[in-house]
């Protein structure tokens, strides 16, 4: 086992738990915000298990996922806007609970939780199908085009899954205000995909042919 990678993953995991927990529960001014606890459990328990699995079976992929330093200036802006979206969305969800601005039925949170779990499973499947995935846009040594499984349906199944994941988050938290904030995410992803495909078509052999074979980017028969 790579001890350095292990500690890097553990430290980032607990920092993530602490930061997101603070962004949710401090504005809520209560630890009894059950929607927040459900979301934290749905997000971090599978993440911890997945991290252990990757540590054992595919440490190289885990290392790529932990590398979040974008090289492209345009993608750095995407990361910044995504971060602002998450921060404002979590804070508003906590404030919504605290001040009871708009109360959503618990049924919506339950349905959103189920959809979140389904999206998480699909996320794991994408990672299984494409071991070249990293958190940054880059073409790796000996990288090949993956065109089977979910990649045979849309060109960017990871982004399709994250859109579903992220749009269910504010609903799990019971905040329609945060949901409106999170609607900016598909726009951010569309911007990222445009830049990413330019890079892949230029630097990844066979990607231009793949684009002709699989016509849709993230939504079958739509876009």
Over residues 156-177, mean pLDDT? 96
Query: Is the separation of the CB atoms in 185 and 169 below 8 Å?
Result: no
- Note the pLDDT of residue 141: 66
Per the domain annotation, does 218 fall within a domain? no
The 3-class SS string of 19-36 reads HHHHHHHHHHCCCCCHHH
- Note the pLDDT of residue 1: 62
Name which of 111, 115, 121, 129 is nearest 46 in CA terms: 121
Per the domain annotation, does 48 fall within a domain? yes
What DSSP designation does 184 have?
T
| Cα(109)–Cα(17) distance, integer angstroms | 21
| Cα(61)–Cα(157) distance, integer angstroms | 17
Q: What is the pLDDT of residues 3-50, one digit of tens each?
A: 888 888 899 999 999 999 999 999 999 999 999 999 999 999 999 988
Per the domain annotation, does 222 fall within a domain? no
Per the domain annotation, does 221 fall within a domain? no
Locus of tokens 């001040």: 99
- Note the pLDDT of residue 5: 85
Helix (H, G, I), strand (E, B) or coil at 107: helix
CATH at 88: 1.20.120.1630
Considering the chain, what percentage of its residues have pLDDT values greater than 70? 92
**Based on the structure, what is the number of domains in the chain?**
1
H-only helix segments in 145-184? 157-172, 176-182
Name which of 172, 181, 171, 178 is nearest 27 in CA terms: 178
Per the domain annotation, does 223 fall within a domain? no
Query: Is the separation of the CB atoms in 176 and 170 below 8 Å?
Result: yes
Q: Is the pLDDT of residue 204 over 70?
A: yes
Per the domain annotation, does 26 fall within a domain? yes
| Cα(25)–Cα(36) distance, integer angstroms | 7
Domain extent at residue 120: 3-213
Query: Is the separation of the CB atoms in 36 and 28 below 8 Å?
Result: yes
Per the domain annotation, does 53 fall within a domain? yes
Helix (H, G, I), strand (E, B) or coil at 100: coil
Q: What is the pLDDT of residues 58-114, one digit of tens each?
A: 887 777 777 666 666 667 788 889 999 999 999 999 999 999 999 999 999 999 999
Per the domain annotation, does 137 fall within a domain? yes
Over residues 184-206, mean pLDDT? 89
């Amino acid at each position: 086992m790579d001890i350095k990678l292990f500690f890097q993953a553990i430290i980032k995991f607990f920092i993530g738990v602490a930061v997101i927990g603070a962004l949710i529960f401090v504005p809520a001014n209560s630890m009894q915000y059950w929607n927040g606890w459900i979301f934290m459990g749905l997000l971090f328990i599978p993440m911890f298990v997945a991290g252990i699995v990757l540590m054992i079976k595919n440490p190289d992929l885990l290392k790529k996922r932990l590398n979040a330093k974008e090289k492209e200036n345009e993608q750095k802006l995407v990361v910044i806007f995504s971060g602002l979206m998450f921060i404002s969305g979590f804070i508003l969800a906590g404030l919504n609970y605290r001040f009871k601005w708009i109360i959503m039925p618990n049924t919506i949170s339950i349905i959103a939780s189920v959809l979140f779990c389904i999206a998480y499973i699909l996320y794991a499947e994408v990672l299984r199908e494409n071991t070249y995935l990293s958190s940054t846009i880059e073409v790796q040594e000996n990288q090949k085009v993956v065109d089977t499984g979910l990649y045979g349906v849309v060109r960017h199944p990871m982004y399709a899954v994250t859109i579903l994941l992220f749009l269910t988050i504010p609903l799990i938290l019971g905040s329609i205000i945060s949901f409106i904030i999170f609607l900016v995410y598909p726009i951010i992803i569309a911007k990222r995909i445009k830049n990413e495909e330019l890079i892949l078509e230029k630097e990844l052999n066979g990607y231009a042919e793949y684009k002709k074979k699989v016509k849709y980017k993230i939504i079958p028969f739509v876009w």
